[in-house]
């Protein structure tokens, strides 16, 4: 139990569907992140949110739409995905206060399959 919870753990969707991934952290952190991990590839940072504001978008296609309503919750809205978007999507959080060395806490991930 890392204090970061992701739902659903597994998701299968068609290319025309709209679905959302949810992440919730119970650690009092103020920064949250979405990563993508495709088979046999390193983790790719997708989005960064600091104090609910998006501060980084690493050239992610618009079919992925993040939302951060508060510092504890992060969503990734998915629409018109492609089969190559099938991957493990990981949420992480960290604390950005002064003096904190800012290790990352990850959720278990949401395994997405696009048919």
Give the one residue of 111, 113, 114, 115 binding another protein; rule: CB under 8 A: 111
> Taking the complex as a whole, how short is the minimal distance between the CB of residue 33 and another protein, in angstroms?
4
Rg (CA), the chain: 14
Question: Please, which residue, 62 or 101, has the CB nearer to another protein?
Answer: 101
Kindly report the backbone phi and psi dihedral angles of residue 85, in degrees, each rounded to the nearest multiple of 5, phi listed first.
Answer: -85, -5
Q: Is 75 in the site for another protein (CB under 8 A)?
A: no
Give the one residue of 15, 51, 96, 115 binding another protein; rule: CB under 8 A: 96
Q: Is 19 in the site for another protein (CB under 8 A)?
A: no
* Count of chain residues binding another protein (CB under 8 A): 30
The alpha carbon of 102 is separated from its chain's Cα centroid by a whole number of angstroms, namely 18
Kindly report the backbone phi and psi dihedral angles of residue 37, in degrees, each rounded to the nearest multiple of 5, phi listed first.
Answer: -130, 105
* Paired tokens of 114: 């696009």
Q: Is 92 in the site for another protein (CB under 8 A)?
A: yes
25 touches 105 (CB < 8 A): yes
> Taking the complex as a whole, how short is the minimal distance between the CB of residue 47 and another protein, in angstroms?
9
Sheet containing 73-79: order of strands:
4-7, 18-25, 73-79, 64-70
Instruction: Please give the residue ranges that form the binding site for another protein (CB under 8 A).
Output: 2, 4, 6, 31, 33, 42-43, 45, 48, 50, 55-56, 88, 90-92, 94, 96, 98, 100-109, 111
């Amino acid at each position: 139990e890392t204090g970061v919870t992701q739902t659903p753990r597994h998701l299968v969707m068609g290319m025309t569907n709209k679905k959302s991934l949810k992440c919730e952290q119970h650690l009092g952190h103020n920064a949250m992140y979405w990563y993508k991990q495709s088979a046999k590839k390193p983790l790719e940072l997708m989005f960064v949110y600091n104090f609910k504001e998006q501060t980084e978008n690493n050239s992610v296609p618009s079919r992925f739409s993040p939302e951060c309503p508060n510092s504890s919750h992060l969503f990734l809205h998915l629409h018109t995905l492609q089969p190559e978007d099938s991957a493990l999507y990981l949420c992480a959080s960290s604390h950005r206060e002064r003096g904190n060395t800012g290790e990352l806490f990850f959720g278990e991930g949401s395994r997405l399959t696009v048919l």
